[in-house]
Chains A and B, each alone.
Chain A
Amino acid sequence: MTENSQHSRPLLQVRALTCEREERLLFRDLDFSLDAGQVLQVKGGNGSGKTTLLRIICGLNDGYQGELYWQGNALTEHWDDFHAGLLYIGHRVAVNHVLTPLENLRWSCRLHDPAADDDICGALAEMGLAGYEDSPCYSLSAGQQQRVSLARLLLSSARLWILDEPFTTLDIDGVALLEHLVARRAQDGGAVLITTHHKLDLPRLRTLTLGVAQ
């Protein structure tokens, strides 16, 4: 193994991924890879298996056949490494309603990369939530809660982001901000896997459309 093979290997590789759910075929023999610096947008109609695909890659769903590789290693053998380098934001944004944004982020950062309170407040301010640090999250709007969750993107050093419909509740400014964050992550050598119906305006954007071949 040469020294630079570590770098030439794709960050994430998916081979012959087939998923059948409740006797219905969602996708078959899916092959794709994601290199550092790339953004992959997963498209497809309702029920085409976008969320399932993301959950399979995250390791939340194991009802699949096929192989997954993280930096060249079989994912199933290296979950801890993979999870240390992964940030997933799903439909449900993992924001507890009775806690404040600060308390929420303190906990979710502890699970991944520890962050100081100042950094968290800075991230919240960047997400446009300055002044809301100590208000309970039930008093925030859905879009603001989404922003609390997205503040984790600023605090994370994860190389791979997996974002499931992150734009749904955001306003125009929020959308622009998130697009900017995604582009910046790609520039910094990370990779982003994202599902959205939104038209993304990003350089080096690749798309994967589910539910066409069948």
Chain B
Amino acid sequence: MAGRWQWFHRLGSPKWFYEKTTRWLPWLIGVMALLLAVGIVWALLFLPPDYQQGHTSRILVVHVAVAGASLSFFPLMAVAGTVTLVWRIKLADMVAKNAAPLGAWFTFLTLATGSIWGSVSWGTWWEWTDSRLVSMLFQFFLLLGVISLRTAIESAETAARACALLSIVGCINVVIIKYSVAWWNTLHQPPSPISMEVGSPNGPEFWVATAIMIVGVYLFLAVSLILATRNEILERENKAQWVRELALRSR
């Protein structure tokens, strides 16, 4: 029993996290850079233009990857929030705190790439009948809500737990919003030719490029989150012995 919990609490130690990630980061960044480079070059240079959408289909490679990644933020924040509320592990909150703005940024990128693609494919920058973009917009609002709640509450401890609770409630809501918006759309008009499905006309080369890009973007997410969390650790633990030693060594 004690052994089982030991790793859990070690995992929650900011120092442990900092030291481990110092070792992992070069590898993560290397793999990420490789995958992103391959994915982008493939998408821009080697992917044959789509017979219907022409060159615009290339942005889908990025869009799909970013959209997939931005869907993972609320579950991530809800899990981190649960850990914060139940076990009071500070590290979980440091991750959650940085996940919210990052998630908002990813969601914004999803909306931006989606509407750039839409401006060519649908002839309009915004289309309410695409339920995925609409529910993304509401996810964006909710993330802004989490961020503004964090900045509004002065006490860091209270802010951490309030945001944790909001993330859990928000996570449930994002799911409900997603399904109800999808339903709303299918009822407002019959299934339209407008679809973001990376559909049949696309051959395996499109899928492979997208898959590489998805893994690359997830790694980018992980690296950004780890870097931000490391900064947060140094800031919050600036009185701890090991942080001072680190600062002395790096001087």
Contacts and interface: CB of A to CB of B under 8 A. Distances in A.
- Direct touching of A and B (C-beta under 8 Å): yes
A63 B161 CA distance: 12
A23 B157 CA distance: 10
Interface in B152-186: 155-157
Nearest to A23: B239
Contacts of A23: 239
A22 to B, nearest CB: 6
A23 B156 CA distance: 10
Q: Is the interface of A mostly helix, strand, loop or mixed?
A: loop
A22 B160 CA distance: 13
Interface in A1-47: 22-23
B212 to A, nearest CB: 45
B106 to A, nearest CB: 31
Contacts of B157: 22, 63
Nearest to A63: B157
B36 to A, nearest CB: 39
Nearest to B238: A23
Interface residues of A, number: 3
Contacts of A63: 157
Interface in B73-92: none
A63 B157 CA distance: 8
A63 B158 CA distance: 10
A113 B112 CA distance: 60
Interface string B211-251: 00000000000000000000000000001000000000000
Interface in A60-106: 63
A72 to B, nearest CB: 26
Contacts of B156: 22
A103 to B, nearest CB: 32
A22 B155 CA distance: 7
B84 to A, nearest CB: 13
A206 B155 CA distance: 33
A193 B239 CA distance: 35
A22 B153 CA distance: 13
A87 B202 CA distance: 71
A63 B155 CA distance: 12
A79 B157 CA distance: 22
Contacts of A22: 155-157
Nearest to B154: A22
Interface string B89-117: 00000000000000000000000000000
A22 B159 CA distance: 12
A115 B131 CA distance: 57
A17 B167 CA distance: 31
Nearest to B156: A22
A22 B158 CA distance: 10
A104 B239 CA distance: 48
Interface string A164-195: 00000000000000000000000000000000
Contacts of B155: 22
A47 to B, nearest CB: 15
A161 B90 CA distance: 35
A203 B239 CA distance: 46
A9 B157 CA distance: 34
Interface in B128-168: 155-157
A159 B221 CA distance: 56
Contacts of B239: 23
A195 B156 CA distance: 27
A211 B157 CA distance: 23
B159 to A, nearest CB: 11
Nearest to A22: B155
B188 to A, nearest CB: 47
A62 to B, nearest CB: 9
B93 to A, nearest CB: 14
Q: A-B pairs with the 5 shortest C-beta distances?
A: A63-B157, A22-B155, A22-B156, A23-B239, A22-B157
5 contacts: A22-B155, A22-B156, A22-B157, A23-B239, A63-B157
